[in-house]
Amino acid sequence: MIKVLHSGFYTSIQDKGRFRFRNIGVPVSGTMDSISAGLANALLNNNDNDALLEIALNGPKLEFTKPTAIVISGAEMSPKLNTNSILNYRVYQVKKGDIISFGKLQKGLYAYLAIQGGFQSKTVLKSKSFYDGLTVRSRLQKNDSIPYKSKAIVKTLNSAIKNTNSFFETNILEVFKGPEFELFNFEEQRKLLQTKLTVTNSMNRMGYRLKESVVLHNKSMITSPVLPGTVQLTPSGHLIVLMKDAQTTGGYPRVFQLTEKSISILAQKKAGDSIKFSLL
Amino acid sequence: MKFKLKYKPFGDAALLIEWPQKISEDILNDIQLFVSKIENINHKEILELNYVYNSLLVIYNNKNTQFTPLKIHLQNLYKKSFPTIQKVENVLWKIPVCYDREFGIDLPILSQEKNISIDEIISMHSGTIYTIYGIGFLPGFLYLGGLPESLHFPRKETPRLNVPKGAVGIGGNQTGIYPKNSPGGWQIIGKTPISLFNVNNEMPCEFKASDKISFKPISRDEFNSIELAEVNGNYKLNKSFIND
């Protein structure tokens, strides 16, 4: 088990997400930055879909009750194993009684803590990803405990990758044209692509609202499916980027669709950061 | 087939098929027929289908297939007739709703603004058969078509921060049920004691697009007893089949 001594700001269990239930309105969920999460699992020889902890903004304090191996990836949050500072993208062995804690957020927003074999929390509709109303919790709370398999340590794992976080330092988000992109004229399309946009405080696992009003419009459409990474344009001209816990359908014109990599990059942005869309 | 469809790429792993931009049961039935065909051929690269109103999203495995070949495949499939496919059975669900003032907090405003008595609002709302045009927005949220025009009413200018699970509301030309506690801007006219989504059931949501819904007014006492039966897992929603 991992015992939660402090929960942190928003710590949840995530895997790749919950598929094939969109037709009954169930969001996909899953890791916000799937690239960083995938690297952490890969370093432990885990499956890509193994459940890990997603840690936003402020890290938790966790105690291990049996030996295992872990990797931290994504945002740089000054992690510590007991009293020693540790690095991202490096495999660490932990013993019974060891404590992981986090300090100052240095870079990015979402960190991942992967564990050998993945967390063994309850699977709901084929996924362990937390989602309010489906799983018992939508975020970890103090005194929660999460099971994991204790594996015999066969050999010293010390693989590491260098400088992996550079992928999210860019502010260019590569996008595809969305289904309604062509409804806008050349000048409007140009504005959508050339305006420098600012991430606001209205950002969570459901979506990111961008600050600028880019293109006012009165184009109405009938509610239609949306995806994580869909960029909607509201009549007030604001852009909303849907993220992993987003609703499955929407009624605003879909002007862009982010690539999975762009979703990961955006997930690591903070309020005040600027971004720009670039057509693939 | 009778409709001219538009096929659009939606990212690099989904294809969006659009029917004409209107809400109609003909379109809904045509989408469902197409969905049945797609399910029937069991295409191994098609991972998921999601449809609502006049569009169908096909999510595919982009490691093994791409937009253009999949589009051609689907276009041919659309034209083909499948005599073995049966028309989807139409089910009518009767959903109990208590319209007491305690739950129907916006009934007085509606009555005043529309100049219709509360009793008339209730009888119009519950006397209509609605069609499910899709499920989305939240787990178990049904998009319903068929709200009588005299009950159309704009959403609240400022949404409420918390609308309770089961609340029945009117927003614009739509009516619907909140499947869980959530913020919401619809005018609330009643509450159902039943759950539209139960994650512990084998089928978490029993409803499907093209099913029909009607609302059955119940008293506060009936609300309590149904709520209790629902909690204990003893409540069976009234379901009948419609022949057309």
CA distances in angstroms from B231 to B158, B191, B224, B235, listed in the order given: 33, 16, 11, 8
Residue (of A225, A179, A23, A20) closest to B210 by Cα position: A23
- Whether residue A134 and residue B11 make contact (CB cut-off 8 A), yes or no, is no
B39 assigned to some structural domain: yes
Among the candidates B79, B111, B134, a domain finishes at B79
User: Are the CB atoms for A258 and A173 separated by under 8 Å?
Assistant: yes
The residue type of A135 is: T
B84 assigned to some structural domain: no
Residues in chain A: 280
pLDDT tens by residue, A217-255: 988 889 999 999 999 999 999 999 999 999 999 989 999
User: Are the CB atoms for B106 and B187 separated by under 8 Å?
Assistant: yes
Q: Which residue has the tokens 């200018």?
A: B157
| Residues of A engaging B, defined by a Cβ cutoff of 8 Å | 19-27, 124-125, 132-134, 176-179, 221-225, 227, 229, 247-249, 254, 257-259
Q: What is the pLDDT of residue A223?
A: 92
Of B10, B54, B135, the CB nearest to A227: B10
Residue B74's CB is within 10 A of a number of other CB atoms, namely 21
Residue (of B240, B230, B239, B236) closest to B195 by Cα position: B230
pLDDT tens by residue, A75-104: 999 999 999 999 999 999 999 999 999 999
Q: Is the pLDDT of residue A43 over 70?
A: yes
Q: CA-nearest residue of chain A to B132?
A: A24
On whether both B68 and B135 belong to a single domain, the answer is: no
Q: Give A138's pLDDT tier (boundaries 50, 70, 90).
A: very high
On whether both B95 and B124 belong to a single domain, the answer is: yes
Tokens in use for B16? 């969006």
B146 assigned to some structural domain: yes
B85 assigned to some structural domain: no
On whether both B133 and B63 belong to a single domain, the answer is: no
Tokens in use for A121? 């929390």
B74 assigned to some structural domain: yes
Average pLDDT over residues A95-123: 97
User: Is this complex scored with an ipTM above 0.90?
Assistant: yes
The rounded distance, in Å, linking the Cα atoms of A192 and B64 is 32
| Domain residue limits at B28 | 6-79
3-class secondary structure, B117: coil
On whether both B100 and B51 belong to a single domain, the answer is: no
Which stretches within chain A are classed as H helix?
34-43, 186-194, 260-267
- Contacts with B57 from chain A: Cβ below 8 Å: 22, 224-225, 227
| Residues of B engaging A, defined by a Cβ cutoff of 8 Å | 8-12, 14, 16, 18, 21-23, 47-55, 57, 134-141, 143, 179-180, 197, 199, 204-205
Low-confidence ranges of chain B (pLDDT < 70): 1, 243-244
Assigned CATH class of A170-279? mainly beta
- Predicted structure pTM score: 0.93
Q: Is the pLDDT of residue A154 over 50?
A: no
- In DSSP notation, A119-139 reads B----BTTB----BTTBS-SS
Of A20, A178, A179, the CB nearest to B48: A20
Residue (of B65, B56, B67) closest to B33 by Cα position: B56
On whether both B71 and B111 belong to a single domain, the answer is: no
- Contacts with B22 from chain A: Cβ below 8 Å: 222
Among the candidates B79, B101, B134, a domain finishes at B79
- Contacts with A28 from chain B: Cβ below 8 Å: none
Q: What percent of chain A has pLDDT over 90?
A: 91
- Contacts with B8 from chain A: Cβ below 8 Å: 179
Residue B218 pairs with which residues in a beta bridge?
A: B98
On whether both B69 and B99 belong to a single domain, the answer is: no
On whether both B216 and B110 belong to a single domain, the answer is: yes
On whether both B205 and B159 belong to a single domain, the answer is: yes
CATH code of residue B51: 3.30.1360.40
In chain B, helix, strand, coil percent, each to 5? 25, 30, 45
Of B9, B52, B139, the CB nearest to A26: B139
Q: What is the pLDDT of residue A238?
A: 94
Among the candidates B79, B100, B119, a domain finishes at B79
The rounded distance, in Å, linking the Cα atoms of B137 and B38 is 24
On whether both B60 and B166 belong to a single domain, the answer is: no
CATH code of residue B116: 2.40.100.10
- Provide the shortest C-alpha distance from residue A223 to chain B (in Å): 7
Question: Where are chain A's structural domains?
Answer: 2-166, 170-279
Q: What is the pLDDT of residue B79?
A: 93
Q: Give A153's pLDDT tier (boundaries 50, 70, 90).
A: low
Q: What is the pLDDT of residue A37?
A: 97
Q: Is the pLDDT of residue A158 over 60?
A: no
Task: Give the total number of structural domains in chain B.
Answer: 2
Residue A172 pairs with which residues in a beta bridge?
A: A276
On whether both B74 and B114 belong to a single domain, the answer is: no
User: Are the CB atoms for A82 and A98 separated by under 8 Å?
Assistant: yes
Of B10, B141, B204, the CB nearest to A125: B204
B1 assigned to some structural domain: no
Q: Are strands A197-203 and A99-101 parallel, antiparallel or unpaired?
A: unpaired
Q: What is the pLDDT of residue B159?
A: 80
- Whether residue A22 and residue B50 make contact (CB cut-off 8 A), yes or no, is yes
pLDDT tens by residue, B125-136: 999 999 999 999
On whether both B99 and B62 belong to a single domain, the answer is: no
Tokens in use for B46? 């098609």
On whether both B218 and B169 belong to a single domain, the answer is: yes
